[in-house]
Structure 1
Amino acid sequence: MDFWGEPVRVGELLDGTWELKRLIGKGGMAEVWSAADVRTGGEAAVKFLRPDTEDLRCLDPQELEEETVALRGRFRREARFLSELRHPGIPEFYGQGSRRGLPYLVMQLIDGLSLHAFLVRCAPLPLSSAAAVAVQVADALACAHIRPLVHRDLKPHNIMLSAEGVAVLIDFGIAKPLGAHVTNYTRQGSTLGSRGYQAPEQILEKEPTTRTDIYAFGCVCYELFTGSRPFMAADHHTLNDMHLKSEPLAPSLHGAGVPPELDELILRMLAKSPQERPDAVEALETFRSMAPRSGDPAPSPRLVPDPTAPFRSPRTSPTRPGRPAPDAEEWLDPSEVADLCDAASLEIEENAPADAVGRLAELAPRVRAEWGVRRPVVARVWRIAAEGLRLAGECGGAAKLYDGLAGELGPGDGENAVAARAVARLRAAECRLAFGEIDAALRVIADCLSLAGELPAQLAERITDVCSEVTVDVEERCADPDAGD
């Protein structure tokens, strides 16, 4: 059947598993249905391409073919991204399929409402309630940026609040791996993102970075904390011009009770130059200082859903809303950590880093917090986790672990320790090449080659071998910015 196919209907059964229940939303090129697993009764959201949009129907046959190819590619990429991003603030991916030639994705159903609808109903929010939303979105965004992946369409419509108050970042349909040369995201001549939330570089159709998402997130936070957007205009061109040239008012001028540090953060998020904006982790830490804590009273008047609930409830963790908080009396079991290291090492040997590497990386900060920096097992955890994340392409997370190994987790002060720290520095620089930090990598290579000249031959060779690997990566990227994507 051709692309237009037969309309999706209530009661249809997909892949013998998912029974469609009702249409719950439509976007520009997709529609989302709720579905039930006929075997278990579990619920899911099913996202289909929309074959009935006026934008598609007005295209000539060649344009339609090109656009449908682009849309199908967008669906495939979204499936891949969701399968790789594991975070309570990002929908869990269940699977994908095709219905009469129409592709669909199956993912976690968020039973709630969009942040846009929530703000229409509840704004202005108390400071701690707004911070509770901001913390959760910043945490999810940081998870995507570690990959590194740029969402490119962050706005209140693409943030859901579940019935339990968990904020979930949705719609990775036009997301893009940083530095990847991927065509056919949208038709030529159309600007990605949504009006009123586009960063200046998006408006100018320049290459996005993770700081592009930070600008959009700054627009969302401005609205979240003040009830107003940073810029308002009646027409698209005037609004774009304001985002390109005008400076927003301080949020505190719109709403009483906005502290100076929040003013400073949000205005930096809205900086015209991407280099002047903070990253998601810095934003997360500032918002977290304003978020509610366990035992705090519920907001008054009552909010439904209540984004403070995951923070006030002892059953969930304020840093990972929706996940069980660790029992303060429970400590890590050294034998279990050792077994996990062995399992992760095996995955690395097989060149297939997977669950064990992911679990070890999640445990790494806790291992250091509980056991300090001098126990050899701590460095072992960080080293294996860093190597696994690097091989898996999770460059941001790997770089942070390598930084720890090059710093306070480095083993002692002897020649072996000096070589180990140099290798960690090189690997961190290699990972940051994914963020375009070529000059910094060249400086690290030069430093480490100089250092290798002062060490015994065997240790020097260990350093120079890694220098050679990183140099090859640098040369490839200089020759072709899209190499390796």
Structure 2
Amino acid sequence: MTVDGDEEEPVGGNRVIARRYELTSPIGRGSMGEVWSGYDQRLDRRIAVKLLPAAKLAESDDPQTLTKRFVREAQLTAKVEHPGVPAVHDVGTEGDELFLVMQRISGTGLADIIAEHAPLSVSWAVSVAAQIAAVLTSAHEASLIHRDLKPSNVMIADSGTVKVLDFGIAAVLEGGHTKLTRAGDSMGTPSYMAPEQAMNNTATPAGDLYSLGCVLHELLSGERVFDAPGAPGIVHKHMSVPPTPLRECGVTVPAELERLVLDLLAKNPQERPEDAREVYRRLLPYLPAPEDSASVPDNGDPTTPYRHPHAPRTSRRRPESTGAPEEVPLADPRKAEERIRSEQQRANELVDEGRFTQAAELLRSLLLDRSLRRQLTPDRRTKIRSNLATFHFLGGDYRAALEEYTTLLAEFDDDSSVPITSVLECRFMAATCRTELGEDQRAARELRSLLNDYLRLLPSELERILEVRVQLATLLSNTGETNAARELLRQVLAAATTEESALHVEQARRMLARLDELGR
């Protein structure tokens, strides 16, 4: 376990723990404390931080056991190496508190999906269940049981990968560790709890399979297996009442899939499928088949990993909303101005510290907040987006930077008042992003066009013209157009007349010498 020193002073109004993890906003509460969204200042990446506050410990009648369970959550989760389990980055103490640093998942909770869209199609429901079964296979092989599998502990990432969360009450199957559930405790959620778990707190892999059966039934039918006014009534039904087959509930499903759900919900653990691997095998016939695709969007579709296995993603972020702005009330003008100024200032400070990811997200949050639409005039939005693109570029996220530069150029097309210098600069940055991304041919086409426009419209911009020539010559030499590259480099040497041109002159001479050396 990592033990750190005293708490660092807050930066920009946010709390920093362990001298590197900045907490930005609460996400929610789990069975083991608070969960916060945050940033790792050292690695400039998004994180989620689970805190077990001192007050939470004080409320417990057994703080020592609660502390051990929290630490065990980190150890157990880290032990399961599977794409469907959030990665654990760190665990430690901060004063009287414990913290757990995890991968932050961008996606949607399965409980929210059920509430809005259930019943789901067979392909969606089976794709979710199969991915959960794959996670359980890895967990059970590592001698771990989840014990509280339910929709609120499952997320579907934007990529379509299903993530199983909160191993906080997991039990250890084999020796070597003390089981951290005290006698008399019944860990789990009544609506998804296996009969033997409810009766005597027995934790086995078969109990997780029962919970999976409850989830799959709910995905396909839109209803929980059993419902009752209180927890005792729900537990009684799980222990004594046979589940209603899906087709008797009016759900159109294949007979064998219905049989699998009933087998998972068997009262006797011995009558359930042998293991999670068998569940996955029985779900295989209902999974979508692979499709031909060069790329797929990140849209939170759980069938994507099966339809497009290992296909590259077309986007790593969610699009900006295009809904009617009237749907969101306007923010208080004074508070809105204060927020815009303070977050822009904070973003600049973060860039000075080399924390480009967090700086970019601050600016993007301003652009996405429609309550600020009165303050964010078109000109102001353009300036913020330009800074956002620059921050992405400086941070090396050229794909995100290109998206913003492309958006800016589209906005410039609709605004004839934008200075031509701004338009050409934006085009140059977009072409540079394509160069960094390896899109050499398209970047070369854009730089050729850009060079012509600079010579025609802004011939006095000598330094930029030289820079475009050098960059274009580099691309052409890489693609075998060495004669054209040499001509551009000679033009650089002929046109460079100021001290500021020395760098471009040196670059051109080195490139010409290199071409001569290679005989190209």
The answer, yes or no, to whether TM exceeds 0.5 is yes
Q: Could you tell me which residue of structure 2 aligns to residue 291 of structure 1?
A: 287
Q: Could you tell me which residue of structure 2 aligns to residue 167 of structure 1?
A: 162
Structure 1 position 11, deviation (Å): 1.6
CA distance in 2 between counterparts of 1:14 and 1:285 reads: 44
Deviations 1:209-229 (A, max 9, x none): 110111111111111121111
1:143-292 aligned within 5 A = 143-180=138-175, 185-186=180-181, 188-278=183-273, 279-292=275-288
- Secondary structure of 2:192's counterpart equals coil
Amino acid at match of 1:144: A
Deviations 1:336-355 (A, max 9, x none): xxxxxxxxxxxxxxxxxxxx
Deviates more, 1:137-146 or 1:20-29: 20-29
Q: Could you tell me which residue of structure 1 aligns to residue 116 of structure 2?
A: 121
1:130 to 125, 140, 162: 125
- Secondary structure of 2:160's counterpart equals coil
Structure 1 position 314, deviation (Å): 4.6
CA distance in 2 between counterparts of 1:252 and 1:182 reads: 44
Deviations 1:172-212 (A, max 9, x none): 11111114486573454331111111111111124321101
Higher relative contact order (CA 8 A, sep 6+): 1
CA distance in 2 between counterparts of 1:248 and 1:73 reads: 37
CA distance in 1 between counterparts of 2:80 and 2:309 reads: 26
1:407-446 aligned within 5 A = none
Amino acid at match of 1:119: I
Q: Is the 8 A contact 2:185 2:201 kept in 1?
A: no
Structure 1 position 52, deviation (Å): 4.5
Q: Is the 8 A contact 1:142 1:280 kept in 2?
A: yes
Identical-pair percentage: 37
Is there any run of 5+ residues in structure 1 with no aligned partner, and where?
Answer: 323-485
CA distance in 1 between counterparts of 2:19 and 2:137 reads: 36
Give the 3 Å change call, closer, same or farther, for CA 296–127 of structure 1 in structure 2: farther
Q: Is the 8 A contact 1:155 1:220 kept in 2?
A: yes
Q: Could you tell me which residue of structure 2 aligns to residue 102 of structure 1?
A: 97
Amino acid at match of 1:155: K
CA distance in 1 between counterparts of 2:222 and 2:298 reads: 15
CA distance in 2 between counterparts of 1:163 and 1:124 reads: 20
Give the 3 Å change call, closer, same or farther, for CA 314–141 of structure 1 in structure 2: closer
- Secondary structure of 2:286's counterpart equals coil
Q: Is the 8 A contact 1:29 1:50 kept in 2?
A: no
1:291-310 aligned within 5 A = 291-295=287-291, 305-310=300-305
CA distance in 1 between counterparts of 2:126 and 2:292 reads: 14
- Secondary structure of 2:101's counterpart equals strand
Q: Could you tell me which residue of structure 1 aligns to residue 509 of structure 2?
A: none
Q: Is the 8 A contact 1:122 1:303 kept in 2?
A: no
1:37-52 aligned within 5 A = 37-52=40-55
Q: Could you tell me which residue of structure 2 aligns to residue 77 of structure 1?
A: 72
Q: Is the 8 A contact 2:186 2:198 kept in 1?
A: yes
- 1:27 and 2:30 are equivalent in the alignment: yes
Q: Is the 8 A contact 2:21 2:41 kept in 1?
A: yes
- Secondary structure of 1:96's counterpart equals strand
Structure 1 position 315, deviation (Å): 2.8
Structure 1 position 75, deviation (Å): 1.4
Deviations 1:63-121 (A, max 9, x none): 3xxx2111111112111112221100011111111121211111111112221111111
CA distance in 1 between counterparts of 2:30 and 2:54 reads: 12
CA distance in 2 between counterparts of 1:206 and 1:153 reads: 12
- Secondary structure of 2:116's counterpart equals helix
CA distance in 2 between counterparts of 1:237 and 1:40 reads: 48
Larger radius of gyration: 2
Q: Is the 8 A contact 1:81 1:172 kept in 2?
A: yes
CA distance in 1 between counterparts of 2:81 and 2:253 reads: 33
Amino acid at match of 2:28: G
TM-score by length of 1: 0.58
CA distance in 2 between counterparts of 1:77 and 1:273 reads: 30
Q: Could you tell me which residue of structure 2 aligns to residue 313 of structure 1?
A: 308
Structure 1 position 36, deviation (Å): 1.1
Amino acid at match of 1:192: M
Amino acid at match of 2:163: V
TM-score by length of 2: 0.54
Q: Is the 8 A contact 1:233 1:239 kept in 2?
A: yes
- Secondary structure of 1:128's counterpart equals helix
Deviations 1:126-173 (A, max 9, x none): 110111111111100110011121111111111111122211111011
CA distance in 2 between counterparts of 1:120 and 1:268 reads: 25
CA distance in 1 between counterparts of 2:309 and 2:207 reads: 35
Amino acid at match of 1:283: V
- Secondary structure of 1:173's counterpart equals coil
CA distance in 2 between counterparts of 1:179 and 1:40 reads: 36
Q: How many residues align?
A: 301
Q: Is the 8 A contact 2:54 2:96 kept in 1?
A: no
Identify the structure with the greater helix proportion. Answer: 2
CA distance in 1 between counterparts of 2:309 and 2:212 reads: 28
1:16 to 7, 19, 32: 19
Q: Is the 8 A contact 1:19 1:38 kept in 2?
A: yes
CA distance in 1 between counterparts of 2:253 and 2:121 reads: 10
CA distance in 2 between counterparts of 1:213 and 1:116 reads: 18
CA distance in 2 between counterparts of 1:44 and 1:243 reads: 38
Give the 3 Å change call, closer, same or farther, for CA 255–303 of structure 1 in structure 2: farther
CA distance in 2 between counterparts of 1:46 and 1:244 reads: 37
Deviations 1:407-437 (A, max 9, x none): xxxxxxxxxxxxxxxxxxxxxxxxxxxxxxx
CA distance in 1 between counterparts of 2:309 and 2:183 reads: 50
CA distance in 2 between counterparts of 1:290 and 1:34 reads: 36
Deviations 1:237-274 (A, max 9, x none): 11111111110011222243311111111111111111
- Secondary structure of 1:267's counterpart equals helix
